[in-house]
Amino acid sequence: METYECTICGYVYDPEVGDPDGGIPPGTPFEDIPEDWVCPVCGATKDQFKPVEV
């Protein structure tokens, strides 16, 4: 699964880890996160994330 990086603060969403504090269980692809989810570090919206190039 692809990871996504916040373009504001650099937080990386790893689908294998999820965002348990934000209610996103491990194994959740970025595409399946609700649109109202925000970056747990800086509060940026989901559209502020970009795929991480491997």
3-class secondary structure, 20:
helix
- Is residue 42 a known part of a binding site? yes
Interstrand relation of 49-51 and 12-13 (parallel, antiparallel or unpaired) = unpaired
- Is residue 9 a known part of a binding site? yes
**Rounded Cα gap, residues 10 and 13, in angstroms:** 10
- Is residue 6 a known part of a binding site? yes
Binding residues: 6, 9, 39, 42
Annotated binding site for Fe cation: 6, 9, 39, 42
